[in-house]
Structure 1
Amino acid sequence: MRLLTAAAAAIALAATASTAEAFPDQAARVDQQIRPNFGGLITPPLKPRARPDRWKPGRYKWGRPRPGWPGGYPPPGWRPDQQVITVDCGDPWAGPTPISDALQYLVDGGILYVRSRGGVCRETVLVERSAIIAGEGIPLFDAGPNPQPAGISAPDGAPCLRVAPGARVEVRDLTLTAAKAGRAACVEAWDAEVALVRTKVDYWGDSPAVYAAGGRLILRESVVDARTWDAALVADGAVLDIARTRIIGEETGVDVTPASGESRIDQTGIMTRQTAGSAGNGVLVRGLRSGSGNLTVRNVVVCGWRNGLHLDRGAQVDVSRSRFCRTTVGVVSDGQLRFTESAIGSQDVGVYIAGGHAVIQRNRIHDWSRRPIWVERGATADVADNWVYYDGDCWGERWDQGLHCLRGDRLPQALRDESDFGGDAGRSWWESDGYDRGYARDGAPSALPPSQPPSKPKRGWGRR
């Protein structure tokens, strides 16, 4: 009798496990209070996330000669409280840290020009006061045999740019390169305001290419190309403002914890580099228990990631007119999500709502294999007028409220065209459209009449 009872219990347990439907992507499971993280227990992370230590300015004694300085200090023509200073890194009398030294002679908010014909400046630029650092473009006359734009290259294991708390720096028309950064980020800022305008960041290391803790981070018409297992860009408790920018990463594109206020990502591409393993999250949004700000995502392309958008608890995100392509799960949400007028191309599930509340309206979801929208028990969602494209028989499937089935061949061809999103990382691809004009061209999804059942065979059909 004991054996029969045990066998019956085992059969019942196996039947229950076989009928339960598992979460579509175990690697992207949102942590819940009642769900242990079995993935972390079985395969714990090999390395903790590297974050730079807070930089304390004032370690250097400005106004004294540095080791390796060939001449007197300061160079001729440098006077205190100058409005404009020009630095030529090819000048042998400039010393080992010409940009950092020149910034000490600028007035608050002054302009420092970096000449390109002098070569690349190899130093870590230390910014302790507000300034504009502008690079000279490639000269048209007397450009030399190998003209290059102005650039700053970091020493091995050191950052390109460090910004002290309270400073405001605007970097224009420069190329920042960290070829062997190790655990240092290329751009590091704490409670400061940093703007990268027409700037390219090339990074090889184990930390984020751009790291901002607190303050404000602005990117305009820039490129961040990060070769790291960390996120390409991290904004921890900062106000984020990105527009007309391209971000390329390998594990995570943007990791942001929005501070109180309004953060936004507009007309931006967040792409993954083609690697052997699948990448993680295109945009990872973390929430705060108090003071968490809202993130607005509009006209953005997120392509090639396992999860296009991942919201943790407490995150507040508003997505519109955006496009998610070549993802496993388009959106994973455990926070407050508003997702409208966008397109999702996912291999498994389009939108997975693990918790919190979501508004999902007027979207196109295609290429999914399991469910277009999955709402867990306990979560709430307002789903209305979403078109899901299905290669099978729309009449033969059951659809939840707010989902309208269309044949897969009715998907707009522009949603499968990714020719504008590839190519050289330096290409100004933000001139192309994310999904704003495409949505206006393809029309707004709306409620559809119920699909008609297949006609019944005529009486006597098939008889001889």
Structure 2
Amino acid sequence: MRRLGSFLALWAVLILGLASAAPDSAAASPDAKVDQQIRPCFGLLLQPNLSQGCKVNYAKRRPCARGYYRVRGRCVVGRYGYNYGYGYGYSDQGYGGGYGYGGYVSREINCDYAYPGQVSATIARLYDGDTLTLTSTNGGACVESLNITKAVTIVARNYSPSRNRPILIAPPDQPCIRIASGVQYVVLQGLGIEAGRAGSASCIVGRATEIALQNVTVRYDGDASAFDVGDSRIELASAVFIGRTRSAVVKATGTIMASDVEIAATAIGGAFETSNDSRLKDIRIVRLGDWTGSSRTRNSAGFVISGMNRQQLVSLDGLYVDGFSRGIYIGGGDETVLIRPVVRDSDWAVTVENANLRINDGELEAVDVGLYVASGIAYAGNNKIVGVMRSGIYADAGGQIRAVDNRIYARPEGCKALVSGFFDGELTCRPWFEAPELYRTPRDRARLDYDAYWPAGPVGPAPLAASAALAPPAALAGAPPPPPGAPR
């Protein structure tokens, strides 16, 4: 037993001695150094991106999205990680609300509490093509002139336009919305816009862009236009323009696509200059009663197309014009097609100059001339011309008319012999527009003015019901033309 105890003691001493000498031998042995270099690194499964020995190359953190800040290794809303009103938000999901605290860009503005210039400043900080939402809980409006320099969509939530409740008001003598040239697109949806003291500034202004208005109402009182956009692609849907101005309320050049649009004007409704094929459907233009009986009424025009090139087709389906001295004026262009137009209470219903016009199934009510062709060619078929006192269809020396199946009815107390074709300049009746201080019809007495007008229903041509008092009832029902020798 003693030998066994001595042997165990000696073995323990040897083990302890080798352990104490191991570091020195490892440090001195070349084989040990090589072994350390090729030995698998600890933590290889957790940090697999090892390039040099056991050194870990940590991946760089991706920057936080715009409006978010890194707090404790994570992207949160606001400088201190707060998102007033919505709790926390993370950049990976793009959530967020609040009031712009710490540089955060809110995409929703309540116009009840908006400060001047907030909408423009917000648009400038949004991404190109982003969406901005305007709300108005208590009926407040954002008062500022928007300056748009990038593609944006502006919508309204929980808001419906009304006459005394716009959501965007332009300051005096400033435009409502100014779109910089070259902006890719601007979309306006569900907005009520008003410029009550615009002066010489138009309300919506832009050049060389693409703009779309849907369910938008614009009220304008000034010397320019409510909508003045040129050399652009223009899309209008369920839009209303109400203007008290001597200029055209809607002025547009470019490619125009319009549907369900209403224009209320005191002098000129819409002036269009198309540069490509354009389509307009269900356009309603009515004259306001502010300047009735003045020289401005005598020079008024409802719908004007001019300056068109010779390589395009413009189609107008369901155009309705009420109360203008010159109802529809077509000047220039390759071909313009009027389908089911209705013109009421005019002096000259349709005027054609240096253009090719096709007009079918129309109802034209005029005091002086129904269809007048100064130059160019007009193709007229199946139209009713009611209430004229000089001529139903008339072509000047430079104009040509191809007409078939048109019915013309004079006023019962009108001219005994209407002139058709060319005439020597003598008038068998005095045209009523020479006395603009007299109201022509009872409808003129009932016209609403700028302050009282608001669309009453869906846009679209109304039936020519009131013209029944100006023509025989059988005529409007489709009766054959009167016999030869009878007043036409």
TM-score (norm 1): 0.67
CA distance in 1, matches of 2:141, 2:109: 11
1:48: which partner in 2?
none
Question: Does 1:104 find its partner at 2:121?
Answer: no
For residues 330 and 216 of structure 1, what CA distance do their matches in structure 2 show?
A: 29
Q: For residues 177 and 240 of structure 1, do their structure 2 counterparts lie closer, same or farther at Cα, with a shift above 3 Å needed? A: same
Q: Partner of 1:286: helix, strand, or coil?
A: strand
**Residue identity opposite 2:483 in structure 1:** S
Looking at structure 2, the residues matched to 348 and 124 of structure 1 have their Cα atoms a distance apart, in angstroms, of 44
Structure 2 matches for 1:104-183, cutoff 5 A?
104-117=124-137, 119-138=140-159, 151-164=167-180, 165-183=182-200
SS at match of 2:241: strand
CA distance, structure 2, for counterparts of residue 393 and residue 122 of structure 1: 54
DSSP-derived class of the 2:348 partner: strand
**Per the alignment, in what secondary structure is the counterpart of residue 377 of structure 1?**
strand
Residue aligning to 1:75: 100
**How far is the alpha carbon of 1:326 from its aligned partner?**
0.3
Report whether the alignment pairs 1:257 with 2:273: yes
- Give the Cα–Cα distance (whole angstroms) in 2 for the partners of residues 183 and 429 of structure 1: 31
Q: Counterpart in 2 of 1:90? A: 112
1:176 counterpart SS class: strand
Rounded to whole Å, the distance in 1 between the matches of 2:119 and 2:248 is 28
C-alpha distance in structure 1 between counterparts of 2:103 and 2:168, whole Å:
21
1:298 corresponds to 2:313: no
CA distance in 2, matches of 1:382, 1:199: 40
Cα distance change of structure 1 residues 398 and 186 upon mapping to structure 2, 3 Å threshold: closer
Alpha-carbon distance in 1 for matches of 2:339, 2:186: 31
Q: Which moved more, 1:379-388 or 1:104-113?
A: 104-113
Give, as a single letter, the amino acid of the residue that structure 1 aligns with 2:232: G
Indicate yes or no: 2:392 matched with 1:359. no
Shift in Å, 1:392? 5.9
Describe the shift of the 1:399–1:177 C-alpha distance in structure 2 as closer, same or farther (beyond 3 A).
closer
Distance in 1 of aligned mates of 2:481 and 2:218 = 51
Separation (CA, whole Å) in 1 of partners of 2:342 and 2:317: 9
Residue 380 to residue 203, structure 1, CA distance change in 2 (3 Å): same
Larger Rg: 2
C-alpha separation between the residues in 1 aligned to 2:229 and 2:193?
Answer: 16
Structure 1 residues 252 and 280: alpha-carbon distance in aligned structure 2, compared to 1, 3 A threshold = same
* Counterpart secondary structure, 1:179: strand
State the number of aligned residues: 356
CA deviation vs aligned residue, 1:318-361 (integer Å, no higher than 9, x gap):
11112000000001111111111010000000011000111011
Query: How far does residue 150 in structure 1 lie from its aligned partner after superposition?
Result: 5.5
Q: 1:117 is paired with a residue of what secondary structure? A: coil
Shift of 1:288: 3.6
1:226 maps to 2:258:
no
Contact in 2 for aligned 1:218/1:241 (Cα 8 Å): yes
**Which residue type is aligned with residue 75 of structure 1?**
G
Would you say the 8 A contact 2:146–2:176 is kept in 1?
A: yes
Task: Return closer, same or farther for 1:418/1:431 CA change in 2, 3 Å cut-off.
Answer: farther
The secondary structure found in structure 2 opposite 1:346 is strand
User: Is residue 332 from structure 1 mapped to residue 342 from structure 2 by the alignment?
Assistant: no
Which protein, 1 or 2, shows the higher relative CO under an 8 Å CA cutoff with sep ≥ 6? Answer: 1
Which amino acid letter does the alignment assign opposite residue 318 of structure 1?
V
Q: Deviations over 1:414-448 (max 9, x none)?
A: xx9989x976633243355445999xxx9999995
For 2:457, the equivalent position in structure 1 comes to 429
- CA change 1:87–1:260 in 2 (3 A) is same
2-side partners of 1:422 and 1:128: how far apart? 40
Give runs of aligned pairs for residues 188-267 of structure 1, distance below 5 A: 188-236=205-253, 238-264=254-280, 266-267=281-282
Alpha carbons 2:215, 2:237 under 8 Å: kept = yes
Q: Cα deviations across residues 267-314 of structure 1 (Å, max 9, x unaligned)?
A: 1211111123215111111124555x3322211210110100112233
